[in-house]
Amino acid sequence: MRFNYLSYSFGLVLTFFGILVCTPILISLIYKEYDSMLPFLITAVISISIGYIFNQIGKIKGELKNLNDIKKSEGLFIVTISWILVSLIAAIPYTFYNISPINALFESVSGVTTTGATILTNYSIPKTLMFWRCFTHWLGGMGIIVLFIAILPQFAIAGRQMFFAESPGPTEDKFTPRIRSTASSLWVVYAGLTLVETICLVIAKMPVFDAICNSMATIAAGGFSPNPESIMGYHSNYIVWIMMFFVFLAGSSFNLQHRAYTKLNPLLMWKNEEFRVYFGIFAGISALVAISLVLNDHYKIFEAVTHGCYQVISIMTSTGNASVDFAKWSFTSQILLFLAMFTGACASSTGGGIKIVRWMLLYKIMRTELKKILHPNAVINIKVNDSIVSKDVLTQTVSFVMFYLAIAMVAIIAISIIEKSIVIGISSSITSIGNIGPGFGRIVGPMSNFNGLHTSSKLIMIFNMLVGRLELIPFLVFLEKDFYNFKFD
């Protein structure tokens, strides 16, 4: 890997991120929170200054106008380190509000990875900081690097390696010949949905500031809300149904949505096999939860359907905000929600988890192996949307799920020992690596927070959140010694 390419790329990322850090200053001006301007100005200066230093170091061996021959290993390294650097920079504003460095980093990582797990115990903080929490969701939802590819000409050609390093699905899914055009189109859809949801929530009588924050968090499949009681705090079924619709869209493929919007044909989405499975799982688990709520928790049918559907789609897509305190639900209802934690959203969405398409491939692999037992000489191809899936993709899918579960298991054991609670261990580990947000139980439930956890547990969750957001691959290659082959000329 060429050090000057890496350094120059980090410089670009940090410089532009420093500019984005200034965005909350507009909120401080609107709401006359002038004292809240300083933390973001200082953070912006730090980010831009470090970016400038990286940029100049990258140019020591010669002028770099673009990164048109960047290698795959370099792309993986740039994406992984960039997310760590951005998380560290994004944590700085929190430290100005009497939040410890570890808690600030936890909140920052939870924001940019769209996890939504919080350490806040007091929501009486300036609107400027509250906006920053949800804005980090929005930046991280579609992908920080994807945003930079869309707007920075230096990444116009080199963006391909970084695009798929940041969003490594089972298959490369792009719908325009140029990666930069793909990134731009995704962000147009992403921003458009955010705007439409904001308008809908304002019409439903949610305060404008709250509507903006909740929309950014929803479309990003995050979970932060300016209301300490999350969506439950607005006491409106209209709001719940509006957000349910947009959470569902956040968990479906944005590539697929782009095709449907541009061709004015919503049926294109239903023709996609992964989308049909996604809808089917959502409908199936939601129906079971609603029945359980009626029978075991004595909900009325409409309330059971409303909150059952919302909590299932919120957990499935890793959005994680709550329309009701599901920690008070019966054991059966909670088990069904726990099952939804493992499904994940669609590939090319802002949702987290293992992803529906990987479960589809695992199922088809098992079916194929069973058929080969009966028909040893048969040649059976595995297809998704009538396209044959290569053996390399199938192998990578199995490896991904194995590593995912292995990392989750190690984290479960470690946190359970640290916290002396298997419930906290399982809940915190699964919710962090799946970028889901709330856990189960009284301590880390939907109306609680993670502030009371041991520092070591928080560090494990920080690692899990980053690994889960980047879908393991960029982090796993760091374990290979051949990866560390740096060239300084």
Compute φ and ψ for 251, nearest 5 degrees: -90, -5
Segment 172-229, tens digit of pLDDT: 555 454 666 777 888 889 999 999 999 999 999 999 999 999 999 999 998 899 999 9
**Alpha-helical regions (H) of 220-253:** 237-250
Q: Which residue has the higher pLDDT, 247 or 472?
A: 247
On the question of pLDDT at 153 being above 70, the answer is: no
Q: What pLDDT, on the 0 to 100 scale, is given for residue 78? A: 83
pTM higher than the cut 0.85? yes
**Run of H or E residues at 383:** strand 383-384
Per-position DSSP letters for 114-149, written without gaps between them: T------S---S-HHHHHHHHHHHHHHHH-HHHHHH
Q: What pLDDT, on the 0 to 100 scale, is given for residue 170? A: 62
Segment 31-68, tens digit of pLDDT: 999 999 999 999 999 999 999 998 888 766 555 555 66
On the question of pLDDT at 474 being above 90, the answer is: no
Segment 2-35, tens digit of pLDDT: 777 788 888 888 999 999 999 999 999 999 999 9
On the question of pLDDT at 264 being above 90, the answer is: no
What SS3 state is found at 210?
A: helix
The two three-digit tokens of residue 115, written as one number: 């996890």
Taking residues 416-433, report their average pLDDT. 92
**Percent of the chain, pLDDT > 70?**
89
CB contact at 8 A, 54 and 143: no
Segment 154-187, tens digit of pLDDT: 665 555 556 655 565 665 555 454 666 777 888 8
Query: What value does the mean pLDDT of the chain take?
Result: 87
Q: How far is CA 78 from CA 140, 212, 299, in A?
A: 16, 31, 50
CB contact at 8 A, 468 and 352: yes
Q: How confident is the model at residue 280 (pLDDT cuts 50, 70, 90)?
A: very high
